[in-house]
Structure formats: C-alpha cells, structure tokens
Amino acid sequence: MLTPTPVATDPSTALLATPTTLPRVPQGRKAVITSDELIAAALKLVGPHRSISTISLREVAREAGIAPNSFYRHFRDMDELAIALIELAGSSLRKVFSEARQHKSLEPSIVQISIGIFMDQLHSGDGYLPILLREGKAGSAEFKEAVERQLVFFEDELQQDLIRIDQANGNTMYQPALAARAITRLVFTMASVAMDLPPAEQEARMSETIAMIRMILEGARALAKK
C-alpha cells in the first residue's frame, strides 16, 4: 500500500489561507475620530441656548457617530471636554477681535468695532460668545474658572491696544491694565444681559455700553494728568 507523500506547506501561504476576523464597526459609526470632532459635536449640541453642563457623554458620542467608550481616548470626562470647548470659544473670539482691530489707531473706531463684533457674535452660528456668557454666569465653578481665564486673556490684549492707541495719539492713561479690566468686565456683563433681549433692546443696551466705555477711557486719561 502506497503512503501519500506529505506536501510541503509555505507558512506564509498558510497564514493567507487562514480566515482573519477583523473587529466590526457598527453601521453608522466612525472607526476613528479626533478630539476636534468631539468638540465640534458638543458645540452643535449646545446651540444658542443650552448649557454645556446639560449635555451627556452619550449625546456627544451619538452626534459624533462613535461608540461611547471611544470618547475616553480623547477626554477624561465631559468636564474636560467642556473646558476644551470654552478655551476654543475664547481663542476663536480673540482672533476675530484681533484681526478686526489690528489696523486701527483711533479710539472711537476700535470701540465701535469691538461692540459691533459683540453684537454680531451674539447671533453668530458658531455660538462661541454665548458659550462664554452663559457658562461664566451660570456654569459650574470649574467652568466659571475656565471662562475667567479667557477674560484675563481678553484684558491683556485690550491693554496692549489701549497703550498702542495712546502712544499713537500722544496720550497717557492711568493704569491701562485696570482700565482694560473695567472695560472687559463691563462689556461681558452687558452682553450677558443683552443676549436674552429683543434686537431693538440689544441695540440700546450696546449703545449705553459704548458711552460707558468712553467714560472709563476719558476718566483714566484725566487721572493720568493729575
């Protein structure tokens, strides 16, 4: 009786012949996602009136098209995501303000431009300004601290603008850092009130804000002369 001769098998061929089971991604879900996409999903959920604190992890995961467990590859929890969103809102708004003011050297134009930007941002589709106003007023202690850090950045940049304007026009300002702080706090406070008002009342409130800002600036310059 003849014994069949064993056929040599190439190990690489054997591996190719072996069925490989790959992890399946549920239909409609993304296999890979970035932290920026998660932030964008949260921003979309927040909208013009909703607080970040009311959004759940599952809502963000559903909006981003991922499994909830995939969220933790980028953020420790929803608070960390919320703070990242607040930081994005602050940096994005500062960029808008900076680009609008950088070529201006006259105080009235900068005041008008800044308030005009605030009015535009109140109704902007990106929702950055409402996030800062809402979370700074009614958010958790951690969120308020994050907003406070952004306001300090606004103050620092405004201080540099005030010094630049006065140097260009031969003026001197008493404690420009304090003047910048007063203006920043005034504008954000007035905007947080105006946010929920009808358009006509918003305009009136912002006109009052412009007058108050000019009072602060004139007062600071008058003090510098004493």
Among 68-77, 95-104, 113-122, 202-211, which stretch is predicted with the lowest mean pLDDT? 95-104
Residue 85 has, within 13 A of its CA and on its CB side, a CA count of 35
pLDDT computed for residue 195 by the predictor? 85
CB 65 within 8 A of CB 28: yes
Residue 107, pLDDT score: 58
Q: Is the pLDDT of residue 204 over 60?
A: yes
Q: Which residue has the tokens 């026009």?
A: 169
pLDDT of residue 124: 77
Cα angle 163, 103, 153 (rounded to 5 degrees) comes to: 50
pLDDT of residue 194: 87
Average pLDDT, integer, range 114-121:
81
119 pLDDT above the threshold of 90: no
Q: What is the pLDDT of residue 151?
A: 95
What pLDDT score does 161 carry? Answer: 87
Per-residue pLDDT at 84 exceeds 90: yes
Asked whether the predicted pLDDT for residue 101 surpasses 80, the reply is no
3-state secondary structure the chain: CCCCCCCCCCHHHHHHHCCCCCCCCCCCCCCCCCHHHHHHHHHHHHCCCCCHHHCCHHHHHHHHCCCHHHHHHCCCCHHHHHHHHHHHHHHHHHHHHHHHHCCCCCHHHHHHHHHHHHHHHHCCCCCHHHHHHHHHHHCCHHHHHHHHHHHHHHHHHHHHHHHHHHHHHCCCCCCHHHHHHHHHHHHHHHHHHHCCCCHHHHHHHHHHHHHHHHHHHHHHHHHHCC
Most confident of 3-7, 48-52, 174-178: 174-178
pLDDT at 109: 67
> How many alpha carbons lie under 13 Å from residue 199 in its C-beta half-sphere?
2
* Confidence band, pLDDT 50/70/90 cuts, at residue 1: very low
The pLDDT score that the predictor gives to residue 196 is 83
Higher pLDDT, 22 or 57: 57
Mean pLDDT along residues 38-64: 90
- The percentage of residues in the chain with a pLDDT greater than 70, rounded to a whole number, is 81
Q: Model-level pTM greater than 0.85?
A: no
How far apart are alpha carbons 226 and 222 in whole angstroms? Answer: 7
Q: Mean pLDDT throughout 148-165? A: 92
Under 8 Å between Cβ of 110 and 158: no
Task: List domains and CATH numbers for the chain.
Answer: 88-224 (1.10.357.10)
Q: In the predicted model, is pLDDT for residue 190 greater than 80?
A: yes
How much is the pLDDT for 24?
A: 44
pLDDT at 144 over 90: yes
Q: Is the pLDDT of residue 9 over 60?
A: no
